[in-house]
Amino acid sequence: RRADVAMYAAKEAGSGYEVYDSEMDRHNPARLALISQVRPALDGTEFILHYQPKLYLGDSRVAGVEALIRWEHPDRGLVQPYEFIPLVERTVLLRPLTLYVLNEALRQWHVWDRMGIAVPMAVNLSPRSLLDTQLPDQVNEMLGRWNMPPVALTLELTESFLMSDSGRSTDVLAHLSEIGVQVSIDDFGTGYSSLSYLKRLQVDEIKVDRSFVTNMRADPNDLMIVKATVELGRNLGLRVVAEGVEDAKTWQDLADIGCDVAQGFFLSRPLPPMEMTDWLAVREPNRGRDDPVPAEPVAGALARSPLRAL
């Protein structure tokens, strides 16, 4: 049984192998206790989304934000997604959690849109969500509810959904593409699947895994992988996002390589909604006339920005 637990962990990490550790064991009593608290937490306000911006490397314009879930647990404090998403994924709670995240992200998009801040939204989907044939209709209904054009929503998926599947998940994905939402392949370069799916599945964006980006200045192999991915994206007409950009030099190198979009701690850590609103209000030029940016805070905030040096 423990070998099986380790095998699941290896598949999830895309690492090829993992050594069993009681921490990864879903039958671990602490984990079972945590999972039993998901359902009640979904009815309350414990799950919150933080948002991390993505910027165009060419001109530093805001390309969008990615919604990242956090659990404000009453006893444990802030619980990170890696501690509960893999548990939830194996239970019937995955659907309510996925719908919760989608609805919350779209609601936030709507709030920003009403403020005159037009910012595309990206949401992470668990590969197992693609086995849910009701998902496309539910996404479509939510887009209507929040008056959001489908093109403003990007769904981020790791390649692992291609490995699990019998064809159902590619059908669900095709349905989502038909609705008009954008499809992004997350953690690109860490999976084992063939590249032909990039065309076949109408992918719009690839996100180079942060392990390559964070390390590309130190390791020529990582740099080569980033360059090759940017080239691949260009040839296939896909947007390429580099995640895990942690310093100015990496930002500049990515711009020189011709990468489209960057995301990472150098630009901003994931922020709670109010802080993200302030961050966007300073940079997002697409504002409503009734809601002008006050002159002084803008100057102040820009002076503190890591992008000032660019």
Q: How far apart are CA 261 and CA 243, in angstroms?
A: 9
Residue 90 tokens, joined: 């194996």
Residue with the closest Cβ to Ca ion? Answer: 156
Burial status of residue 239 (CB atoms within 10 A of its CB: 0-12, 13-18, 19 or more): buried
Tokens 């403020």 sit on residue: 115
Residues of this chain, 154-173, that bind Ca ion according to CB under 5 A: 156
Q: How far apart are CA 8 and CA 177, in angstroms?
A: 29
**CB neighbours (10 Å) of residue 248?**
14
Binding partner selected for residue 69 from ligand C2E, Ca ion, none, CB under the kind-specific 5 to 8 Å limit: ligand C2E
Q: Which is nearer to Ca ion, 67 or 143 (CB)?
A: 67
- Of 82, 166, 256, 289, the one binding ligand C2E by CB under 6 A: 82
Q: Applying CB under 6 A, does 91 fall inside the site for ligand C2E?
A: no
Cα–Cα distances in angstroms (integers) from residue 129 to residues 46, 56, 177, 222, 242, in the given order: 22, 29, 15, 31, 25
Binding partner selected for residue 244 from ligand C2E, Ca ion, none, CB under the kind-specific 5 to 8 Å limit: ligand C2E
Q: Residue 111 CB, nearest distance to ligand C2E (Å)?
A: 18
Q: Residue 167 CB, nearest distance to ligand C2E (Å)?
A: 22
**Region binding ligand C2E by CB under 6 A among candidate stretches 130-138, 225-233, 242-250, 294-302:** 242-250
Q: Applying CB under 6 A, does 69 fall inside the site for ligand C2E?
A: yes
Residues of this chain, 172-231, that bind ligand C2E according to CB under 6 A: 186-187, 210, 214
Q: How far apart are CA 70 and CA 78, in angstroms?
A: 7
Q: Which is nearer to ligand C2E, 199 or 269 (CB)?
A: 269
Binding partner selected for residue 233 from ligand C2E, Ca ion, none, CB under the kind-specific 5 to 8 Å limit: none
Q: Which is nearer to Ca ion, 187 or 284 (CB)?
A: 187
Binding partner selected for residue 82 from Ca ion, ligand C2E, none, CB under the kind-specific 5 to 8 Å limit: ligand C2E
**Region binding ligand C2E by CB under 6 A among candidate stretches 120-128, 159-167, 172-180, 196-204:** 120-128
Q: What region, left, alpha or beta, does residue 19 occupy, with left being phi > 0 and alpha being psi -120 to 50 degrees?
A: beta
Asked if residue 270 lies in contact with residue 51, where contact means CB atoms within 8 angstroms, the answer is yes
- Of 64, 191, 233, 270, the one binding ligand C2E by CB under 6 A: 270
Q: Torsion over CA of 260, 264, 268 and 273, rounded to 10 degrees?
A: 90
Residues of this chain, 119-158, that bind Ca ion according to CB under 5 A: 124, 156
Compute the chain's Rg from CA coordinates.
Answer: 20
**Region binding ligand C2E by CB under 6 A among candidate stretches 19-27, 57-65, 262-270, 271-279:** 262-270
Q: Residue 108 CB, nearest distance to ligand C2E (Å)?
A: 13
Q: Applying CB under 5 A, does 187 fall inside the site for Ca ion?
A: yes
Q: Which residues bind ligand C2E (CB under 6 A)?
A: 52, 68-69, 80-82, 85, 101, 124-126, 156, 186-187, 210, 214, 243-246, 264-265, 270
Q: Which residues bind Ca ion (CB under 5 A)?
A: 124, 156, 186-187
